[in-house]
């Protein structure tokens, strides 16, 4: 293994660890209430133009962020989280912010 391959492997290990952490953190904080269920998803935050939801698609939680000019879907499984982190998907930033401050 050469230097570039070693650096890539180390980055992938960091990304994997971050994906594992987000997965575990989400599952430790998610709390779904029946009163928040409408139109096939659970609303966990909203204001006049924005909202955040949790939907279950094919037995996988999907966090949906709907903002006035932006929209993000973040599947909560380790493989998807790994790919989204690696590709610097903006929805990951929103997920991290909620997991740092709130119980969902």
Cα angle 12-14-16, degrees, rounded to a multiple of 5: 65
Please enumerate in sequence order all residues whose Cβ is within 8 A of that of 2, keeping only pairs 6 or more positions apart, or say none: none
Q: Note the pLDDT tens digit of each residue in 40-95.
A: 999 988 999 999 999 999 999 999 999 999 999 999 999 999 999 999 999 999 99
Q: What is the C-alpha to C-alpha distance for residues 4 and 10, in angstroms, rounded to an integer?
A: 10
Cα angle 45-49-52, degrees, rounded to a multiple of 5: 25
Q: What is the C-alpha to C-alpha distance for residues 29 and 20, in angstroms, rounded to an integer?
A: 14
Q: What is the dihedral of CA 97, 43, 57, 74, to 10 degrees?
A: -20
The structure's pTM equals: 0.89
Q: Are 54 and 39 in contact (CB under 8 A)?
A: no
Q: Which of the 8 DSSP states describes residue 50? A: -
pLDDT of residue 104: 54
Q: Which of the 8 DSSP states describes residue 88? A: T
Listed by start position, the domains of the chain span 3-101
């Amino acid at each position: 293994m050469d230097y570039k391959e070693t650096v890539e492997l180390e980055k992938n290990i960091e990304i994997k660890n971050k994906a594992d952490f987000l997965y575990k953190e989400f599952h430790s904080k998610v709390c779904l209430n029946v009163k928040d269920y409408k139109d096939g998803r659970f609303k966990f935050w909203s204001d006049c133009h924005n909202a955040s939801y949790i939907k279950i698609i094919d037995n996988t939680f999907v966090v949906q962020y709907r903002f006035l000019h932006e929209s993000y879907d973040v599947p909560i499984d380790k493989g998807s989280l790994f790919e989204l982190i690696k590709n610097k998907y903006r929805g990951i930033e929103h997920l991290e912010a909620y997991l740092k401050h709130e119980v969902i």
